[in-house]
Structure 1
Amino acid sequence: MPTLNYLQHYPAALLGQVQALLDSGQLGAWLARRYPDPHEVQTDKALYQYVSELKQRYLKNAALPAKVMYDNQQHPVKGTLGTNTFVSRVQGGKLKTKNEIRVAALFRDAPLPFLRMIVVHELAHLKEKDHNKAFYQLCCHMEPDYHQLEFDMRVWLTWRESQAA
């Protein structure tokens, strides 16, 4: 029986439902019905464009990240689905800072709502560094179904892991 590594802090009733679907082999079909369409954001350039459009729509005053890319080093078991880093470099007598967003490469195969949820999460870090109330309010402003998408994405990760085993 696969463990629900990505869902450990959710209520037992939800975990029971997910485990029942997983045990009966119906979890993949449930996810396919709920999120049937793949997305076309497959390259780093397309991802940069996608992030830029969302940033421009919701965070006009925030600086555009210098680099946006899919990253093969990101791994969900280690807790990283995306990162938002600030890189500081000394150039001459000035300190230059650049922002980089990296999204786990597995989101190339994910449904578009899951990619959007990760991108919204990383964009929210442009304004709020910590995972506090203001951070999650900003996430919900950019994606009203943020919390449901986060749960469903964790279910999807659980299903993917069960298929690999």
Structure 2
Amino acid sequence: MTPLKYLNAYPSQLQDQVRRLLAEQRLGDYLHKRYPGRHTVQSDKALYAYTMELKQQYLRNAPGIDKVLYDSKLDVVRNALGLHTAVSRVQGGKLKAKKEIRVAALFREAAPEFLQMIVVHELAHLREFDHNKAFYQLCEHMLPGYHQLEFDLRVYLTWREQAAG
């Protein structure tokens, strides 16, 4: 049985369904029917505006974000679909921290639901650093159906990897 690295934490019956669709070469059709659209957030400037709009809607009191960008160096193989960082620098005699969100560049071509899921996930880290119950509750609050989208995104990554290989 072929291991599905993006889905290894899910029940074997779900993995078997994905394997069957892969073997029948129907997974791409399934994903296209479920997520037919492509978003228009193509530039880093547009991604910043998109992220700030979501932040303003759900996390007004969370710390500010200094930078949001697509990053072609994020390695989806190691499950880094997005990244939130706090970069600290000494300027003069002061320590300045800048918060950044980076989204894997492959999401420029993804369905709008997948981009929203990644941005919501990274925004949730402004409040909850760990992937705990409160973190996932916050994700679900900002994006109802978050868990299904996360699963479907992992299915999409599995399909994308198989199509490339």
TM-based fold match above 0.5: yes
Separation of aligned partners in 2, 1:9 and 1:78:
14
SS in 2 for 1:116: helix
SS in 2 for 1:7: coil
Give the structure 2 partner of residue 82 of structure 1: 82
Q: Which amino acid aligns with 2:118?
A: I
TM-score scaled by structure 1?
0.97
SS in 1 for 2:6: helix
Q: Which amino acid aligns with 1:105?
A: A
Separation of aligned partners in 2, 1:104 and 1:74:
5
Shift of 1:95: 1.6
Structure 2, gaps ≥5 residues long: none
Matched, 1:154 2:133: no
SS in 1 for 2:42: coil
Residue by residue, what CA displacement relative to the aligned partner does 1:41-96 show, whole Å, maximum 9, x if unpaired? 11101100100000000000113310100000112112211100001112223221
Matched, 1:63 2:63: yes
Separation of aligned partners in 1, 2:133 and 2:16:
28
The answer to whether the Cα contact below 8 Å between 1:52 and 1:64 also exists between their aligned partners in 2 is no
Shift of 1:2: 5.5
Separation of aligned partners in 2, 1:97 and 1:75:
24
Structure 1, gaps ≥5 residues long: none
Q: Which amino acid aligns with 1:137?
A: Q
SS in 2 for 1:69: strand
Q: Which amino acid aligns with 1:135?
A: F
Separation of aligned partners in 2, 1:76 and 1:35:
20
Separation of aligned partners in 1, 2:133 and 2:109:
30
Residue by residue, what CA displacement relative to the aligned partner does 1:92-118 show, whole Å, maximum 9, x if unpaired? 232211100000000011101011000
TM-score scaled by structure 2?
0.97
SS in 2 for 1:70: strand
Separation of aligned partners in 1, 2:111 and 2:15:
22
Give the structure 1 partner of residue 106 of structure 2: 106
Separation of aligned partners in 1, 2:87 and 2:69:
15
Judging changes above 3 Å, is the alpha-carbon distance between structure 1 residues 106 and 2 closer, same or farther for their aligned structure 2 residues? farther
Query: How much identity, in percent, do the aligned residues show?
Result: 63
Residue by residue, what CA displacement relative to the aligned partner does 1:115-165 show, whole Å, maximum 9, x if unpaired? 100000000011111111111111111011110000000000000001101
Separation of aligned partners in 1, 2:52 and 2:64:
7
Q: Which amino acid aligns with 2:70?
A: Y
RMSD over aligned CA atoms reads 1.1
Residue by residue, what CA displacement relative to the aligned partner does 1:12-49 show, whole Å, maximum 9, x if unpaired? 11011111001000000000000000110111011001
